[in-house]
Amino acid sequence: MVLYDVPAPAKINLFLHVIGRRGDGYHLLQTAFRFIDLCDSLDFETRNDGLIVREGEHLAGLAEQDDLVVRAALALQKSTGVTQGAQIRYKKNIPSGGGLGGGSSDAASTLIALNRLWGTGLTRSELMQLGLSLGADVPVFVYGQPAFAEGVGEVLTPLSLSERAYLVVQPAQSVSTAGVFSSPDLTRDSPSVTMSVFTDWQTINAADKGLESIPLFGRNDLESVVFAKYPCVSEVAVWLERQGYNARMTGSGACFFVEFSTLEQAAVHQQQIICKMLDRESENAATVQKTWACSGLFDHPLRHWISS
């Protein structure tokens, strides 16, 4: 059996506050996740020999033991006792080290797809628990809808969000998540907020139909650490501000997003940035590697592949 073109969407953190740290070193967060239609794509084919075999142009330099797709498949095999294997081919569109959750999304789509292909029958909550062993962001992709997240990111409450589009900007630099969270300069004492404060903010701004670029709630507490450690990311932040954009870094970086009311607006501003990138005399333009105009998703495309 085969599943073709299984999507693994990127996520953005609409805000990200670090409110504390547990005794085991994990950080306590509050954040809002939203999926966007920038996606990796995976193909799955069953194997009778039990092996997990991967294919893809991006695999050079990525050891199997570090590949979340392989780890997800092996974890599902081990937890269910299934004897089947899988041939997995995937195409990466989400940049690594960009704060867009590409690796976590690939792992979640692998769990969901192989649960279906192998007929292992795990529920959403069981797959989320399995995903948490792979990484803190994996459960939200299995959860399958925009979410207000607390704890280390695994305590999820569904969010109802307005139709929005996003201009995503990738600096010519990737960021190590572990290095950011281990930094002694990271503040871990942001005050806790309730989900209602965030949703009220969203409702107020959704009611203003005259807005093009949307004001953003809260902040990303990781920005100051990333800007200090990664000059290229900091330069892009300054450059976007000079262009008049209310941009925010997503996750632990390096990518930024600007929120718009419509995809058409995001695409217009994307073209403006591309034109400035092509102008070699434009200040800091060369530090921008790539841009995307994306729609915000109301659900993960595989949400209904799992029984709740």
> pLDDT tens digit string along 221-261?
999 999 999 999 999 999 999 889 999 999 999 999 999 99
Token pair for residue 114? 């192989």
Is 137 catalytic? The answer is: yes
What pLDDT sits at residue 59? Answer: 78
| Rounded distance between C-alpha atoms, residue 221 and residue 250, angstroms | 10
Q: What confidence tier does 281 reach under pLDDT thresholds 50, 70, 90?
A: low
pLDDT at 69: 96
Judged against a pLDDT cut of 70, whether residue 210 lies above it is answered with: no
What pLDDT was estimated at residue 274?
85
Which long-range contacts link 147-151 to residues 24+ away (Cβ below 8 Å)?
147/32, 147/33, 148/30, 148/31, 148/32, 148/195, 148/198, 149/29, 149/30, 149/31, 149/32, 149/33, 150/28, 150/29, 150/30, 151/28, 151/29
Q: List, in order of start, the domains of the chain with CATH numbers.
A: 2-160 (3.30.230.10), 165-295 (3.30.70.890)
Q: Is the pLDDT of residue 282 over 90?
A: no
Given the residues 67, 106, 137, 221, the one annotated as active site: 137
Q: How confident is the model at residue 99 (pLDDT cuts 50, 70, 90)?
A: very high
- 153 close to 271: Cβ distance less than 8 angstroms: no
Strand 165-171 relative to strand 256-260: parallel, antiparallel, unpaired?
A: antiparallel
Q: How confident is the model at residue 273 (pLDDT cuts 50, 70, 90)?
A: confident
Residue pLDDT, tens place only, 100-131: 999 999 999 999 999 999 999 999 999 999 99
- Measured in degrees and rounded to the nearest 5, phi and psi for residue 225 equal -65, -45
What confidence score (pLDDT) does residue 222 get?
97
Q: Which two tokens stand for residue 263?
A: 């995809």
The reply to whether omega before 254 is within 30° of 0 (cis) is yes
How far is the C-alpha of 109 from the C-alpha of 97, rounded, in Å?
Answer: 19
Q: Show the tokens assigned to 276.
A: 């400035």
